[in-house]
Structure 1
């Protein structure tokens, strides 16, 4: 074999080797994107499966039912100035011609009415009476709780406020039976320059409504003070009648007024916690709806 032939063969073999090396480089280069794609896909899910856990949690949350609360038993209130019979008004405030309805933004949730009576006997003195009935109805709320529980909280607050009345002397409290689901009477004296006022407050709850009756009397201009026991008896009568009116307005036939307890126990019977009303201030009757028992006697109407 000539030297030229051998040289050409060597060159050809060298070219073939370069082609093989180049092919291997191209194959490796093509494999790199595939690996990157695979790595990119696998990076979507962390090794601890946190993405799957988050997805499952979201699915579980969407499948969970919305929180619910038992609906309020009573959906309305009676007309505040018509909760007491004519006979009861004649007994408690004989000189009153009509009641004064308190202001309310929503008469289905709050209402009140007050009556003044001044029996003027000239030089023999006079007898003053003041009567006020207020009602507050609560609605169930998912965040605050069932309506009757909210009413119970307000009932307890009303009793405490009556017991802590400014200037009250000889405060006494007692339970009242046969009036709604729970009721308390608070009585005390208030000494004013006009005379000594005998104050009687009855706070009662029937289902999701709280009824507060304030009744006071005084002997003025030298007349003798009325009997506190008689005033309390009259106040209890008015409270029972007002509670019955609430039940009747809601088609309950006044059954709750007979003393049948609701499912919600009193504070002494149940210590179950509940959120105190975030709307407590809004739930208080307005000043127009609840007059101070120390109000001066009004002129004869």
Structure 2
């Protein structure tokens, strides 16, 4: 059981995450579960209710015990690192509010894990994916819908949640889209002609009224299109083409970034298009090797051009 004071603190922190950082409901749910699990463990570990005073007295040995317990429940290093990050964020907020030293918690080290690099498709495979998608449905409007969604992922670098979050207010789609991404951050992305044409074709065939404020992409019953539907049609397409299991909707966004950079695109510009807060995230996302990065650096840096 979690003490009333600890639960109130957890709720206060979650509200702060939503208000100050614009965290999504899914993110808040994950944060809540992670920190609540930590607080429950500490209650059992200490053998008494953990009020704010007890929480402020957590020691490094307590953190090690929690991490060992968590790993013992078949939680992988990546998931444990995520849980620890949530606990640290909660303690950083709580210590500032209550005025105690949270060094023991904040100094806990996350387990090392090998970060999986994204696996973009080759340019011809990405084109084949988009062209073959419409063959998965005999219903013309559904085929056009699926093709329009995936074309936006590859043509504009959108997350699937961003594409499916579009409303009919964007119609008719022009040369650019204003996208609200993670954390409520806005960015403007250019829309290439094939993406505009794909959406226009879908709009012309869609049997439902596409009124302002309503979802642009619809399911078979007229409600908002579910991401799982896009994942299933992509899976069927990659199986037909003999592409690997890594050829997912999200891989189309990876491919967008990688193909732009390989064609001479600027890493900073691609960072803006993807909506990444960190350039290092974009670097990993594009799956480029060090040689390619050095080539971009050599072309862009004034000293390099003096050679």
Of Structure 1 and Structure 2, the greater helix share is in 2
Q: TM-score, normalised by structure 1?
A: 0.25
Of Structure 1 and Structure 2, the greater strand share is in 1
**Structure number with larger C-alpha Rg:** 1
Q: TM-score, normalised by structure 2?
A: 0.25
